[in-house]
């Protein structure tokens, strides 16, 4: 499972064959709520603890961070136990 911005969620499955937390709005369960939560994940004001909780809930193995994710507000995300 890959966590990426809502916009990139349309491309990642086609390019990688991986599933995403939020992809196409008609193919994502509870799409509006999931999109809002994904956007919150990438928001600068979201704490690392909140992000870790969401990653566990979604069982996301990868987080894609590119220009679209940075535009939401995040500049970087620490890895497990603060490892970049």
- Distance between CA atoms of residues 33 and 62, nearest Å: 21
pLDDT-derived band of residue 76, with 50, 70 and 90 as boundaries?
low
pLDDT at 2 over 80: yes
- Which residues, listed in sequence order, are joined to residue 20 by a DSSP beta bridge? 2
Who contacts 40 (Cβ-Cβ below 8 Å, separation ≥6)? 46, 50
Write down the pLDDT at residue 84.
44
Q: Residues 8, 68: contact at Cβ < 8 Å?
A: yes
- The secondary structure element, H or E, covering residue 62 is strand 62-63
Residue 75: predicted pLDDT = 61
Q: What are the pLDDT digits (tens) for 12-57?
A: 998 898 999 999 999 998 999 999 999 999 998 999 899 999 999 9
């Amino acid at each position: 499972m890959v966590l990426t911005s809502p916009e990139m969620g349309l491309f990642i499955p086609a390019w990688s064959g991986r599933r995403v937390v939020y992809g196409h709005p008609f193919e994502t369960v509870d799409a509006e709520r999931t999109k809002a939560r994904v956007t919150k994940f990438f928001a600068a004001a979201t704490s690392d603890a909140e992000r870790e909780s969401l990653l566990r809930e979604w069982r996301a193995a990868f987080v894609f961070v590119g220009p679209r994710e940075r535009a939401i507000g995040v500049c970087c995300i620490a890895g497990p136990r603060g490892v970049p």
